[in-house]
Structure formats: structure tokens, C-alpha cells
Structure 1
Amino acid sequence: MAPRRAPRRHGRRGDHRPQGLVAHHGRRVRPVRREEHVRQATATDTVVERLWRAAVEGDEPAAASVVHEALDTGVPEETLLLDVLAPVQAKVGVEWAADRITVAQEHAVTAINERIVASLAHRRTRGRAVSSRGRVTISCVDGEWHAFPARLVAEVLSLHGWRVDYLGAQTPTPHLVAHLHQSNPDAVLLSGSIPTHLPTAHAAITACQAVGVPVLTGGRAFGPDGRYARTLRADRWAP
């Protein structure tokens, strides 16, 4: 389950503002040029590589320093979550499947990434007012242990002002529904990566909708185009 970024706004036809400047909230600012995009992408790639090296060596302090130093130098937290930590976590699966890292290393890198995400969240929420945009519950399908994508979604939504109840991996459906009765969220976001869990996902979707809570699904289990999410009658789907 991956959060979607807001679409870029392009100038309207007939817009004759000066070349190289655009209006933004009453101010004129210089747009990001192609070469700047290249520099930013290169800088992000460097952070990804440094984080990977530290994490795969099991050096958690060094890995955390890489991310927090990038944050201190102006890299947005959302960029760190989606363009740094997410690619590093994806690389874990690729390297393990290719037998280039051990299961122990796979688990260690995942644990380090999870603690870095938590450290970013704790740093962000110090002294911050309680969010009021709405409330959502994010959970993995019962039996689903791959919780990192759901955690990233939880943090990005929190960044955008949502109150998030993150329930983590493999939440049994009866306990998920009990939580909905207690918290009355605006929606449930259900994550799954393994297609064999789809019958369990179907039961969870149906149970949540039965108590009046819409369900958004995400993850590879629901198909590359969300075809299984539609089959299971989820309200929405995201890759």
C-alpha cells in the first residue's frame, strides 16, 4: 500500500506569467528546473546507498545518523519515508531472493528501518498539536507479517494531518472490528502482500463494512491493477 502524491498543477492555457517564475500563494517563486531534479534525485540516491550499507552491516547508529542528517539538511520527511526507506526495504527482498544476504541480515535491516521510522515519528510529534483532519485505522490482514509498507502509509498520513491508529501486522478480524467500535474511524486501510491471504482479507473487508466503515486496500496481494480488491468489493484500492 503506497500513498499517492498530489498531482502537479500546470499553468492554464493563455497564462502569460514571466518565464521562469510562477505564482504560488501570492508570491513569485522560481520553479524547480530539470537539472535541480537531477541533483535532488542524485542526492537521494546517495542517502539510499549510505543507509543500505549501514543497515546491511547491522550498524543501527550509523543508519539512523544517515537519515537524521538528511532531514537536518532539508530533505523532507515524506521524501525520506517514500524515496529512501522504502527503496532500501524493497532492496532487502531483492537481495534475499538473490541469496546475496542471509535471513538474519534481512531481519536486521527491517528492524533497523522500523526503528528509524519510529525515531522520525517521535521527533516530529514533540510538542505538536493533536491532528484533526480525520481518523483512520491501518492494519495488515490476519496472517500478514510484512507490515513495513503499512507503517510507511501510516506515517505519511500522519504527516498530512490525520490521526492514525496503526495496528501493525496480522490483526485478527474480530479484534480489528472491536477496535472500530471503540475508535469510530473514518476508514480502514488494509494491507496485504500475499495472495493466499485474500480469503481472510475478504472476511475483514466484509466485517468492517458491516459496521459502517469503508475499507481501502493496498499491497501486491490485491493484484497489480487492484482487480482482486474490486472482486472483494473493497471501497478503494492503492498499489
Structure 2
Amino acid sequence: MAEIAELQQRYLTALRQSDEQAAAAVVGEAQRAGLAPEAIYYAIFAPSMVTIGELWERNELSVAEEHLATAITERLIGRLSPLFERPADRPPPGTALVGCVAGEQHALGATMLADLLRAHGWRVLALGADVPTHDWTRLAQRFNVALVAISASLDQHVATVREVIAALRAALPEVCILVGGNAFRSNAELWRSVGADLYHPDARVAVELATAQVAHRRQDACAGGPTL
């Protein structure tokens, strides 16, 4: 098998050339070589799309070219997403609500995170892009979620993230809140200032941290309960 770094570079090249057939061929090659869908997400899709975003920010890609790259990756994620199944040999950690704040149209990262959570046993409610602020709390209460993952890629949406978190804290003080997206990459402490519990630029680590924190909170709640 070609080295993963080589596959990632070939995938990025295909995106820059708006060549969906070539991009799909890279993914197919990775699958035939035994690369797990999770690894394709974090080693090929994620770094390639980060670079695409950086190229767009430097005006080296047009809006249309960035949209094409995103659409290609979204379709390929659609092929891999059914392969992420909840493990049958362990109880689910709980229900997770995943989506993007109001006004945020870039849902690719949230979509990948939802699949990674599912692979770790979570029941996932994937809301997609542009979720109205009031709906976060309403749905979190309705489904008694243990984890809320909120994505924002643009700085202009950070204030909305803060509003969503404040509303969630008021309604569900014990819920674990994870934030992600490019808006949080350049400021190491921004996630704390908006009131989140967790942030990590690597989605794999973020999922592991969130799963562990929810488990610890449940253990603490049980330990602090009445004894018989």
C-alpha cells in the first residue's frame, strides 16, 4: 500500500483539480489496502479539507472550487458512513447531539465527528448545518443527551456558540459540551472562554476525551448518591 501521507497528498491533489473520480480512486485504494474508515477520515479527509480551507482563506481557491472540494468529500463520506456501526459488545455511552450553530453552513467536520462517535458506541443525533439556537436545548432535553458537540468554522459564529452553551448550561447543567471547527484552531483557550468542557483539534482524541468525561461524571454521580 502507498504510504498514508502519499494517499492524502493524492486526495488533496484530486480535490484541487475538482476530480471526483481520482478522489474516489484514492479512497478505494485505501479501503482495498485495509485502511479502516475511521483512518480514512482522520488521515485523508480531515487534513485535506483543512488545507482546502487554508487555500481558500489565502484566495488560492475560489468559493466555487472550495464548494466543489467539500461536495466531493461529502459524497465520499456518504459511501463510508454506513460502515461506522455501534459496537455490539458494549453498552452505549449515551446519546450525543452533534451539529453546527445558526448561520454555520460548513457541516463536514460535524458529519465526520458524528460517525466517529457512532463507532465508539454513541447513539448520535446528527443535526447538520445551521441549527437554530433554541433548538439545541429543546432537543437536548427531549432526548436526555449526555453530550453536545457544537461546530463553528468562522470567527463570526463564536458568539452564537457562546449563546448556545449558556442556554444548555441553564437547562442541563450536567451535560458535557464539546466544541470544534476552524474557529477554535487558532486560539488555544477560546473553547474555555465560550464555556465548553472540551476541545481538541484531533477528532479522534476529542471523541475519546468526551467519552471518558461522560463516564467519569456518571461514576461521580453514582458515588455521590444515597447509600442503602
Larger helix share, 1 or 2:
2
Structure 2 residue matching 1:154: 3-state secondary structure: helix
d(CA) in 1 for partners of 2:4, 2:200: 24
d(CA) in 1 for partners of 2:52, 2:188: 24
What do the CA deviations read for 1:148-190 (whole angstroms, capped 9, x no partner)?
Answer: 2222222222222222111112211112222213222111011
Cα gap change, 1:187 to 1:84, in 2 (>3 Å): same
What do the CA deviations read for 1:119-165 (whole angstroms, capped 9, x no partner)?
Answer: 1012445x986972322111112222222222222222222222211
The aligned residue for residue 228 of structure 1 is 190
Cα gap change, 1:175 to 1:230, in 2 (>3 Å): same
Q: Are residues 1:89 and 2:49 paired?
A: yes
Which structure 1 residue ranges, 5 or more long, are not aligned? 1-39
The aligned residue for residue 142 of structure 1 is 102
Aligned-partner residue type, residue 174 of structure 1: H
d(CA) in 1 for partners of 2:146, 2:84: 23
The normalised TM-score by structure 2 is 0.76
Q: Identity percentage over the alignment?
A: 34
C-alpha displacement of 1:110: 0.6
Instruction: Let me know the Cα RMSD of the aligned residues.
Output: 2.6
The aligned residue for residue 178 of structure 2 is 216
The normalised TM-score by structure 1 is 0.72
**Larger radius of gyration, structure 1 or 2?**
1
What do the CA deviations read for 1:59-79 (whole angstroms, capped 9, x no partner)?
Answer: 323322321321221112222
Q: Are residues 1:106 and 2:71 paired?
A: no
C-alpha displacement of 1:224: 4.2
Which structure 2 residue ranges, 5 or more long, are not aligned? 202-228
How do 1:190-205 and structure 2 match up within 5 A? 190-205=150-165
Confirm or deny: 8 A CA contact 1:135 1:185 kept in the other structure.
yes
Confirm or deny: 8 A CA contact 2:18 2:65 kept in the other structure.
yes
How do 1:165-204 and structure 2 match up within 5 A? 165-204=125-164
Confirm or deny: 8 A CA contact 1:208 1:214 kept in the other structure.
no
What do the CA deviations read for 1:173-213 (whole angstroms, capped 9, x no partner)?
Answer: 11222221322211101112323322211110011122213
d(CA) in 1 for partners of 2:186, 2:168: 23
Equivalenced residues, count: 198
